[in-house]
Amino acid sequence: MKHLLKSCTVAVASLSFVAQGIAAEPLKALGKGEGAVSIVAWAGYIERGETDKAYDWVTDFEKETGCKVSVKTAATSDEMVALMNEGGFDLVTASGDASLRLVAGKRVQPINTALIPSFKQVDERLQSAPWHTVKDVHYGVPYLWGPNVLMYNTDAFKDKAPTSWNVVFEEQTLPDGKTNKGRVQAYDGPIYVADAAIYLMAHKPDLGIKDPYELNEDQYKAALDLLRGQRQLVSRYWHDAMIQVDDFKNEGVVASGSWPFQVNLMQADKQKIASTFPEEGVTGWADTTMLHADSEHPNCAYMWMEHSLKPKVQADAAAWFGAVPSVPAACKGNELLTDEGCKTNGFEHFDRIRFWKTPTAKCTTQSECVPYHRWVSDYIGVIGGR
């Protein structure tokens, strides 16, 4: 219950935009580094070789710039928004369901891409992506992107990967002869309603869902009903990647939506784990490094954004997390990622991924949609058994 209450508090806090006048003007010229830069990031996004010496893209940056990097790991997009609302950080690696909330709340400032020479190397599909570009103004630098995969235990799914998300949404007997009840997980974030919507798009086409983030009242009710049924199967709503890893290793969990990061960690540890893209499709994330409106270390922050786009950094980070680099040049010639890494991690599936975005009442596929604050309050209810 402590876990659930903490999650709920963070989610509600994230809805309170802290408006503070007009966002700062972009930096006009790069000055001397201030000696430090603080980053709110997903687990595994900022590595300095402490977990594995081969994965370190912080140490050289600190030596070259004199900017000491500190990292605050966040487990959900709502937590990232809440931390940026509180302030005291320079940068955040925001997913699409957080980035526009940060822009609307004036928590991040426009970026002068002329001060980031490597920006022109960014994948053209991402340079002006709608989750960080508003009225032709860039509010960040693309970092990594990828899918939310179905991770599963290969002993439970003997000789054949699951082909559908039904293994986590519908009660059933798995190939190992045991029920899935109490052996699956779901993501502890309101954006997971979109995963239910993707499942319904395939299995209840009469609902007419065209975009899993744009749901009318009937479509939204159907998604919540599916999630309430799933509540009877779920052993834990996960948001901490390392706790999910432990649950798969030690607590008998055999299937869940997950990030390639956890898959990679467990496979490296010789666990019987694999992942797949189910037939219904997947949600995903395209993350942007964004600069806080009140950053105390903007020069070091700009230096980090440039550093983050170096092909070696991009490739190393993508290899570690199981993601796709935002700089295509990173896809070749890197020992850790290998020349097949981008393809393996989904480079060619960009158009098949439903990237996270914040649901709003004003939507494009129909006249009116259920806004995100409803997703938050109702998903808290689902987790609480209501």
Element (H, E) at 264: helix 260-268
The model's pTM is 0.86
Do 2-146+284-355 and 148-283+359-383 agree at the fold level? yes
Percent of the chain at pLDDT exceeding 70: 94
Task: Give which of 49, 46, 37, 54 is closest to 292, Cα–Cα.
Answer: 37
3-state DSSP helix/strand/coil percent for the chain, to nearest 5?
40, 20, 40
* Cβ neighbours of residue 182 closer than 8 Å, sequence gap 6 or more: 233, 235, 252
- So what's the architecture of 148-283+359-383 in CATH? 3-Layer(aba) Sandwich (3.40)
User: At residue 309, does pLDDT exceed 80?
Assistant: yes
The whole-number average pLDDT for the span 226-239 is 97
Where are the chain's structural domains?
A: 2-146+284-355, 148-283+359-383
**What DSSP character marks residue 241?**
H
User: At residue 301, does pLDDT exceed 90?
Assistant: yes
Percent of the chain at pLDDT exceeding 90: 87
Residue 286 CA to residue 93 CA, distance in Å, equals 10
The whole-number average pLDDT for the span 152-178 is 96
- How does pLDDT run across 86-131, given as a tens digit for each residue? 999 999 999 999 999 999 999 999 999 999 999 999 999 999 999 9
Residue 309 CA to residue 117 CA, distance in Å, equals 9
pLDDT band at residue 3 using 50, 70 and 90 as cut-offs = very low
User: Which two structure tokens, joined as six digits, stand for 268?
Assistant: 């490296």
Count CB-CB contacts under 10 A for residue 241: 19
User: At residue 46, does pLDDT exceed 50?
Assistant: yes
User: Which two structure tokens, joined as six digits, stand for 360?
Assistant: 């709003």
pLDDT band at residue 18 using 50, 70 and 90 as cut-offs = very low
- How does pLDDT run across 329-385, given as a tens digit for each residue? 999 999 999 999 999 888 988 988 999 999 999 999 999 999 999 999 999 999 998
Positive/negative CA dihedral, 121, 127, 131, 134: positive
User: Which two structure tokens, joined as six digits, stand for 8?
Assistant: 């709920």
**In terms of pLDDT, which residue wins out, 293 or 75?**
293
For helices 217-231 and 193-203, angle between their N-to-C axes, nearest 10 degrees: 100
Q: Are 123 and 83 a contacting pair, CB within 8 Å? A: no
Residue 283 CA to residue 191 CA, distance in Å, equals 10
Could you tell me the CATH superfamily of domain 2-146+284-355? Answer: Periplasmic binding protein-like II (3.40.190.10)
For helices 96-104 and 77-86, angle between their N-to-C axes, nearest 10 degrees: 30
| pLDDT computed for residue 386 by the predictor | 82
* Cβ neighbours of residue 111 closer than 8 Å, sequence gap 6 or more: 26, 138, 139, 140, 141, 290, 291, 305
User: Rounded to whole angstroms, what are the CA distances from 49 to 44, 97, 316, 382?
Assistant: 11, 29, 11, 39
- How does pLDDT run across 275-291, given as a tens digit for each residue? 999 999 999 999 999 99
| pLDDT computed for residue 13 by the predictor | 40
Residue 60 CA to residue 303 CA, distance in Å, equals 12
Strand duo 353-355 + 282-291: pairing? parallel
| pLDDT computed for residue 362 by the predictor | 93
Q: Is residue 360 helix, strand or coil? A: coil
Amino acid (one-letter) located at 80? M
Measured between alpha carbons, how far apart are the two ends of the chain, in Å? 14
| pLDDT computed for residue 344 by the predictor | 87
Q: Is residue 36 helix, strand or coil? A: strand
- How does pLDDT run across 184-226, given as a tens digit for each residue? 999 999 999 999 999 999 999 999 999 999 999 999 999 999 9
- How does pLDDT run across 318-329, given as a tens digit for each residue? 999 999 999 999
Residue 105 CA to residue 264 CA, distance in Å, equals 35
Q: Are 283 and 195 a contacting pair, CB within 8 Å? A: yes
Sequence-ordered strand ranges (E) for the chain: 36-42, 68-74, 91-94, 133-134, 137-138, 141-147, 149-153, 184-187, 234-238, 255-258, 273-276, 282-291, 324-325, 353-355
